[in-house]
């Protein structure tokens, strides 16, 4: 098939990575794949376009492809996309964000012999009930892919999308990259020994990510287990106010390791952890950091929020909690005091990742969805 993937943003985000990975895997499977995204600003340190080039796909960046609605740019993009689609003779369009869905929908409907449109929805708990979404799903969608069962149910219920037009597909992880046998931790870099028990969180340090709950829980745990170390992997403009100063006031700052943002050695830093905490899904509703930890065989303590309970089965790959400080403290102590439970949950997490988060497996599912959409 000749497929156009279109992504209305230039930033390298969780959804952007998934969209690009899908395109790359479909190209490897023998399809002719074109990938269009917004051009990054000159000063951008990383971008979707740069990642695409590194992955062996030269992206089309000739369209504005704004993340949000812009009347002038959108009108221009629609008519230029119509011309692009007619010349390209594409068999199918795969959209990934609300605005590129809107642009591709209008452009495709302006062509005789309409091109089918597939959309991936990256919201873990459902999409907002708006007139725009109602228009997109009713008039501009031939197939819809969701990343969670809860979103699939919500869309079928609130938008009356028939079951035969909507599929749930796991967001995959590059299991070759996140392979516990191929990744060495970098504990020595942080003055940690292999005998230390180390927890951690991967998140942008923002107020809504419930760092207050985390710090209060750690203060409780450290009274019982003062040798615990905890890594905060991420950055944030208010990190002093949200995490550093409160931890100093609580007297737990010596047990915390603030790594900052990690790129090149992210895997090695993540591999330092004996367990991972995740309290609030961020802009990436797929909770990619949780999936990556599981692929490394790391058990996860997750809040009962968003799609986290769908990713982590309670008492199997980790622990699901109502995120109050005392609950989180109890969960941490369970994993700290019981190495057998910790190791068993880590093994279960690894097995689940290998069974459900494989890139090639999920790409084949998407390929089958394309074929089903084309038949109808």
- The pLDDT assigned to 282 comes to 66
Q: How many CB atoms are located within 10 Å of the residue 207 CB?
A: 11
Is 234's pLDDT higher than 90? no
Question: Could you state, in order of their start, the residue ranges of all structural domains in the chain?
Answer: 2-172+358-375, 187-356
Instruction: Summarize pLDDT for 144-181 with one digit per residue, the tens.
Output: 999 999 899 999 988 878 889 999 999 899 899 999 99
Is 126's pLDDT higher than 90? no
Is 127's pLDDT higher than 80? yes
- The pLDDT assigned to 161 comes to 84
Is 208's pLDDT higher than 80? no
CATH topology classification for 187-356: Rossmann fold (3.40.50)
- Average confidence (pLDDT) over 199-219: 89
Instruction: Summarize pLDDT for 321-369 with one digit per residue, the tens.
Output: 998 999 999 999 999 999 999 999 999 999 999 999 999 999 999 999 9
- The pLDDT assigned to 45 comes to 85
Handedness of CA 282, 13, 42, 80 (dihedral sign): negative
Gap between the Cα atoms of 339 and 341, Å rounded: 5
Contact 119, 30 (CB under 8 A): no
Q: Do 2-172+358-375 and 187-356 have matching folds? A: yes
- The pLDDT assigned to 113 comes to 72
- The pLDDT assigned to 29 comes to 92
Instruction: Summarize pLDDT for 267-314 with one digit per residue, the tens.
Output: 999 999 999 999 987 666 788 889 999 999 999 999 998 889 999 999
User: pTM here?
Assistant: 0.87
- Average confidence (pLDDT) over 213-220: 95
- Average confidence (pLDDT) over 191-207: 90
- The pLDDT assigned to 283 comes to 64
- The pLDDT assigned to 339 comes to 96
Is 46's pLDDT higher than 80? yes
Instruction: Summarize pLDDT for 59-96 with one digit per residue, the tens.
Output: 999 999 999 999 999 999 999 999 999 999 999 999 99
Q: Are strands 275-278 and 166-168 parallel, antiparallel or unpaired?
A: unpaired
CA–CA distances in Å: residue 129 to residues 136, 154, 157: 12, 10, 11
- The pLDDT assigned to 5 comes to 98
CATH architecture of the region 2-172+358-375:
3-Layer(aba) Sandwich (3.40)
Q: How many CB atoms are located within 10 Å of the residue 145 CB?
A: 21
């Amino acid at each position: 098939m000749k497929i156009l993937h279109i992504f209305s943003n230039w930033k390298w985000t969780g959804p952007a990575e998934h969209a690009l990975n899908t395109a790359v895997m479909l190209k490897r499977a023998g399809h002719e794949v074109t990938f269009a995204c917004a051009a990054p600003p000159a000063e951008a340190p990383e971008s979707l376009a740069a990642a695409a080039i590194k992955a062996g796909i030269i992206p089309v960046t000739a369209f504005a492809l704004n993340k949000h609605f812009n009347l002038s740019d959108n009108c221009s993009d629609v008519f230029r996309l119509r011309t692009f689609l007619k010349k390209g003779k594409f068999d199918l369009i795969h959209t990934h964000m609300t605005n590129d869905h809107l642009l591709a929908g209008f452009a495709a409907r302006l062509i005789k012999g309409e091109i089918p449109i597939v959309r991936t929805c990256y919201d873990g708990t459902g999409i907002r009930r708006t007139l725009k979404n109602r228009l997109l799903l009713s008039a501009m969608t031939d197939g819809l892919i969701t990343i969670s069962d809860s979103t699939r149910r919500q869309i079928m219920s609130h938008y009356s999308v028939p079951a035969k037009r909507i599929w749930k597909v796991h967001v995959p992880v590059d299991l070759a990259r996140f392979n516990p046998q191929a990744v060495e931790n970098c504990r020595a870099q942080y003055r940690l020994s292999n005998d230390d028990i180390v927890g951690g969180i991967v998140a942008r340090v923002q107020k809504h990510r419930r760092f207050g709950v985390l710090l209060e829980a750690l203060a409780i745990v450290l009274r019982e287990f003062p040798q615990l170390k905890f890594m905060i992997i991420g950055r944030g403009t208010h990190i002093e106010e949200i995490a550093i100063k409160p931890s100093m006031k609580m007297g737990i700052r010596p047990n915390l390791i603030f790594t900052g943002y990690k790129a090149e050695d992210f895997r090695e830093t993540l591999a330092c952890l004996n367990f991972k905490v995740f309290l609030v899904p961020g802009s990436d509703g797929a909770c990619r950091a949780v999936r990556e930890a599981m692929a490394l065989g790391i058990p996860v303590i997750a809040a009962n929020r968003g799609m986290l309970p769908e990713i982590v089965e309670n008492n199997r790959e980790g622990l699901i909690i109502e995120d109050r400080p005392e609950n989180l403290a109890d969960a941490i102590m369970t994993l700290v005091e019981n190495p057998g439970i910790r190791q068993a949950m880590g093994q279960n997490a690894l097995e689940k990742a290998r069974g459900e988060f494989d890139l090639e497996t999920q790409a084949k599912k998407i390929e089958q969805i394309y074929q089903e959409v084309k038949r109808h």
